[in-house]
Structure 1
Amino acid sequence: MPFLGAHPSLLRALVDRGLTEPTAVQRAILEVGDPSADLMVSAQTGSGKTVAFGLALAPSILGEAERFPPVPRGGAMPGPKALVVTPTRELAQQVARELTWLYAETGATVATCVGGMDPTRERQVLVRGPQFVVGTPGRLCDHLERGSLVLSQLVAVVLDEADEMLDMGFRDELERLLQSTPAERRTLLFSATIPPGIAALAKRYQRNAVRLATAGEAQPHADITYQAILIRPADRVAATVNVLRFHEPRGALVFCATRDGVQQLTDELAARGFAVVALSGELSQRERNSALAQLRDGRARVLVATDVAARGLDLPDLDLVIHADLPQNREVMIHRSGRTGRAGRKGTSVLLAPMQRRGFVERILATKTAPLSWVQTPTAEDILQRDVARLDSELTAELGQLDDGARERGRQLAARISAEDLGALLLASRMALMPAPAVIHPVSGGKPPLRASGNGNGPPRREPYGARSERAGRAERAERTERVERVERAPRPERAERAERPARAAAEPERAERAERPARAAAAEAAEPARARPERVERVERAAAEPAEAAEPVAERGPRSRRESASDYVLFKVNVGRRGNADPKWLIPLLCRRGDIDRQAIGKILVLPGETHVEISRRQAAAFAAAAARPDPRDKKIRITPAD
């Protein structure tokens, strides 16, 4: 019988959910002989841990009863029966959702207490006597101090992803919470790994804990394929683009080491047409919720994040994990990769390994139990072949849905246009909706041809992502031949500003500095004369003197198709131009974000000395104008208005 030994009320909820067979960790929990024993469980991320500890808690908090008794009216409200502590708000909210449906038949209520939410509303829920409280260490301690969280009647406490909480510096908060609970409570400790800190915590706060290990600690998922690609450091963006295009995942998570790296890669992917959102430490809770909502409802398919920002995330339909920056060690790689390959689905984890780091990858990350398959970076031809195969599969599935009218129109077309041309047109129309592959130079055999540099000798200098040099920047721009034709530009004043950034970092957050840069530039251009290097002076003056139509375009989306003309677009202007360092590289993501559009709706972009003219598809122009008119705290001084 599936879920043998589960509490009857929970068993009905599992059946209603369509779950018929327990996962390995759930089966191990149900097979524990003593239902009151403390547990120390090491299990992989995505292995069904939440349902597992939900099953483990039932004998302690429900006993033989089918439902919890009603909360008495008047008098003191009972405290929670179970406390679940998680490292992040997202994981806490996910756990609360899982426990809500699992205990739906019992009449249980679940309260969440997490940072970034209104503590007053949380207190109002706590005084009503919920059976479960799920939260993050800091917020739970706040409620404990204020007396709104009373743990005197607690029966069990669960520490979920305990190793992550220790890594994040929550040891003091965890000990304070545990010391505030009754001595006879059960303690269930779930952790992907059992490092010395976790072992010490268990020894101090658990009694004869039953040790369960459903898989070797920090071992890879059998449902995840691990791949590594050897790249030149300057090709990291291009490699990320091509891996995304080759796999065309329903959802992808890309890891970067720094917040700057996240923002830069997000901007690059958005400029190339990917539906992408970012998560990093400086985002507000509203921004995080918005990004996650876009991923869950399909408006975005790619998430770029740091390790800290992605902790505790459980994203649906995640097929692909890309390590744009290598993980620090094997455990981090397993944690990152565990976001895919969940609930029996297959997943792929791809490491982008700079040439100089191949030894590290082979010595530290790849082992006999976690084999890495070295593969080539997908080329444009590889991607084209995959596109053709996907199109063939889609068309085969859609053929059965055609009605007689559609087939007759198809015969009429086939009488005038050959089948070969029809297929080519269909493929071209599908590919036009997808980001173009990047130009990249494959690396093979571990000894690739050396990149041309100053004297043509020696290996290329390492350039970590997020700290790009002038040479790497020029190489990346040269590779974007499918996107724009750029005019050679003068060195920007912001280069000096970037050099000063480390000194300012102690005084102000780097995110705020970066977000305000375009706004400061827009304000500064009115106060100081235009600066241009000698060979550009004549061009800038000519553009300023002539009508906008004669100005030299700095970038454009590309030649319009035969069906597009100027009448298909509406002209808008942005109040920052060449003197304010306007650049399509950051303008395109800004336009997409402010106007709630994708890159396909943007036509030509003309950067003039004092402003920028942008074409927006007429079909989306009205909605774009309304959205862009709303103030945005990230670029308060940049205004986007219809051109006169």
Structure 2
Amino acid sequence: AHIVVGTPGRICDHIRRNALDMTEIRVAVLDEADEMLDLGFREDLEYILEAAPAERRTLMFSATVPSAIAKLAKSYQRNAVRIATASEQKQHVDIEYRALVVTPADREHAIVNALRFYEAPNAIVFCSTRAAVNHLHARLANRNFSVVALSGELTQTERTHALQAMRDGRARVCIATDVAARGIDLPGLELVIHADLPTNSETLLHRSGRTGRAGRKGVSALIVPVSQRRKAERLLAGAQVEPTWARPPSAEEVTARDEERLFADPIFEEIAKDEEEQGLIDKLVARFDATKLASAFVSLYRGKNSAPEDITEVSLETRKPREGGNDSAPRPLTPRGDFGAAVWFSLSVGRKQRAEPRWLIPTICRAGDLTKHEIGAIKMQAEETFVEIAAAHADKFMAKLGKDGMMERGVRVTRLDGVPDFSKFSRGDDEGFVKREGPRLDKPYKDNKPFSK
């Protein structure tokens, strides 16, 4: 073979089994190098590069160039030249960024209206978890969208079928997690929707870069709940992107856009294909007047699309900084009193994995569609964390997580039958007990690397 293409893990496996001879390698290419580093492939990449001849040529392709990439290049490239294919002063010049501000309750309605307003030949919607992908896929399928899902639980065959459905037009919307969408290239992808805000600016650029390729124009729309506006502003600033802040398309705007598409439809320019079709047209004209024919046509035209949603109007004004100029200062905590009936859950992460309430609480809220007021005591052990969830929300919490009970970064959640037996833990473990006396307002943890024990 002249060219070998593979994942870092698979190539390492072949090298160790002497199934791949590296002595004649002349060029090593790392595609999406930053993403491979984020996924924890640094050791595999170093092993591959060290196994290749020293006189080889090494090429690295990356949408972003964080310090880890620069360090890798310095170690394994000689006299490297950095080539930028677009101006660093302005990211993705062919992409129109729109930040759509909504109430949390209107998040899914905003996604529906954005899909309907743009009616892109292909669109991709990014969610943060597999459970969120499955939930949104079911909702959109019930709304008559031709939709497929991409998540880590799919087999390779299922993934291939889903992508083929997007390519041949049987599906027009793909719901995906960041990991599952890596490396895919869909033709005619004109719309990217961030149903959940990305964890960092690099991920925002990677997601958005699925559209606006090869000189084509595209739209990247962030669904921004009013409570997450500051986070969205930080992400966009870090990506050097200046979006248009707006409200999602209203039901009236979607309907108006439908009318524009209706009048521009080339079907009105077509003529009868044969005498049989012309005969049917003559019968319809003879039996029904123009109003009834037009009414039937409009009903058929609208029937193939999902009806737009009514959305609560929100203010687009940026919230003023708090008094004293310290916009990041936390509000004073308010007493909660007795938490009430609760259910205990076990999380497969503890202090050894640097678990902390300041990022665990936002993660739990996002994964289970909870607020911080529905989370009670948190008891952190060396490799496990116990969390109280208000009894009235426990079933909803597990349903949101899905059948595998997984949260972000591979944290597994298990529902317990009663109160954990804390006596079996060492005295040192008791130091991990955190009793919440008010809402937690700490910023979420930003390191997105998976846990390892």
Larger radius of gyration: 1
Change (3 A) 1:156 1:240: same
Whole-Å separation in 1 of the counterparts to 2:45 and 2:214: 30
1:276 maps to amino acid: V
Indicate yes or no: 2:18 matched with 1:147: yes
| Per-residue deviation, 1:494 | 4.5
Question: Taking structure 1 as the reference length, what is the TM-score of the superposition?
Answer: 0.50
Q: 1:340 to 1:430 in 2, by over 3 A?
A: same
Q: Is the 8 A contact 1:233 1:464 kept in 2?
A: no
Deviations 1:264-296 (A, max 9, x none): 111111111211111112222222222222222
The residue identity in structure 1 corresponding to 2:116 is: R
Q: Secondary structure at the match of 1:225?
A: strand
Correspondence list, 1:202-601, <5 A:
202-217=73-88, 219-366=90-237, 370-395=241-266, 398-399=269-270, 410=281, 413-414=284-285, 416-446=287-317, 466-468=367-369, 494-495=395-396, 498=399
CA offset digits 1:370-420 (Å, max 9, x no partner): 221122222222222222211211145643566677567546544554434
Asked whether the 8 Å contact 1:233–1:463 carries over to 2, the reply is: no
What SS does the aligned partner of 1:211 have?
coil
Checking the alignment, whether the CA contact within 8 Å between 1:238 and 1:440 is kept in structure 2 is yes
Give me the whole-angstrom Cα distance separating, in 2, the residues matched to 1:404 and 1:151: 68
SS across alignment from 1:319: strand
1:15-52 residue CA offsets vs partner (Å, 9 max, x unmatched): xxxxxxxxxxxxxxxxxxxxxxxxxxxxxxxxxxxxxx
In the aligned structure 2, how far is the partner of 1:146 from the partner of 1:137? 14
- In structure 2, the CA distance between the partners of 1:213 and 1:496, relative to structure 1 (3 Å rule), is closer
Partner-residue secondary structure (3-state), 2:86:
coil
For the residue of structure 1 that corresponds to 2:11, the secondary structure is: helix
2-structure distance, mates of 1:493, 1:212: 52
Shift of 1:133: 0.3
Cα distance between partner residues in 1 of 2:217 and 2:397? 47
**SS of corresponding position for 1:299:** coil
Letter in 2 for 1:180: A
- Change in 2 beyond 3 A, CA 1:343/1:387: same
Secondary structure of residue in 2 paired with 1:147 = coil
Change (3 A) 1:295 1:371: same
Aligned partners of 2:179 and 2:141: how far apart in 1? 22
Shift of 1:359: 2.6
More contact order relative to length (CA 8 Å, sep ≥ 6)? 2
Return the letter of the residue paired with 1:445: L
Pairwise mapping of residues 62-211 of structure 1 onto structure 2 (< 5 A)?
130-211=1-82
One-letter code aligned to 1:430? Y
- Cα offset for 1:351? 0.6
What whole-Å deviation, never above 9, does each CA across 1:508-565 have from its counterpart, x for those lacking one?
A: x999999xxxxxxxxxxxxxxxxxxxxxxxxxxxxxxxxxxxxxxxxxxxxxxxxxxx
Structure 2 distance, partners of 1:512, 1:289, is: 30
Q: Is the CA contact (8 Å cut-off) linking 1:218 and 1:334 kept in structure 2?
A: no
Q: Deviations over 1:423-475 (max 9, x none)?
A: 23211111111222223223243489xxxxxxxxxxxx9996642359xxxxx
Q: Work out whether residues 192 and 217 of structure 1, in 8 Å CA contact, stay in contact via their aligned partners in 2.
A: no
Amino acid at match of 1:143: H
| 3-state SS, counterpart of residue 442 of structure 1 | coil
Name the aligned partner's letter for residue 56 of structure 2: R
Question: Any idea what SS the aligned residue of 1:134 has?
Answer: coil
Question: Counterpart of 1:267 in 2: which secondary structure?
Answer: helix
Aligned residue for 2:75, secondary structure, equals: helix
1:344–1:495 CA distance, 2 compared to 1 (3 A): closer
- Equivalent pairs counted in the alignment come to 351
Using structure 2 for the length normalisation, give the TM-score: 0.69
- Quote the offset at 1:243 in angstroms: 0.8
Distance across 1 between alignment mates of 2:151 and 2:298: 37
For 1:300 and 1:497, locate their aligned partners in 2 and report how far apart those are by CA, in whole Å: 30
Note the residue ranges of structure 2 that are not aligned, 5 or more in a row. Answer: 320-361, 372-391, 416-453
Percent of aligned pairs with the same amino acid: 48
C-alpha distance in structure 1 between counterparts of 2:404 and 2:140, whole Å? 29
| Cα-Cα RMSD | 3.5
SS of aligned partner of 2:115: helix
Q: Within 1, Cα distance between the matches of 2:316 and 2:57?
A: 55
* 1:10-89 correspondence to structure 2 within 5 Å: none
Give the superposition deviation at 1:368: 10
- Tell whether the 8 Å contact from 1:366 to 1:372 is kept in structure 2 after alignment: no
CA distance in 1, matches of 2:30, 2:197: 29
Cα distance change, pair 503–213 in 1 and its aligned pair in 2 (3 A) = closer
For structure 1, the residue ranges without an aligned partner over 5 or more in a row are 1-129, 449-460, 471-490, 515-644
Q: Once the two structures are superposed, what CA deviation does each residue of 1:596-617 show, in whole Å capped at 9, x if it has no partner?
A: xxxxxxxxxxxxxxxxxxxxxx
- Give the counterpart letter for 1:204 in structure 2: S
Change (3 A) 1:285 1:187: same
- Secondary structure of 2:199's partner? coil
- Corresponding residue for 1:102? none
Could you tell me whether the CA contact under 8 Å between 1:187 and 1:206 is conserved in 2?
Answer: yes
- Find the aligned partners of 1:199 and 1:367 in 2 and give their Cα distance: 18
Paired amino acid for 2:78: R
Following the alignment from structure 2 to structure 1, what is the Cα–Cα distance between the partners of residues 158 and 404? 28
Give the match's secondary structure for 1:154.
Answer: coil
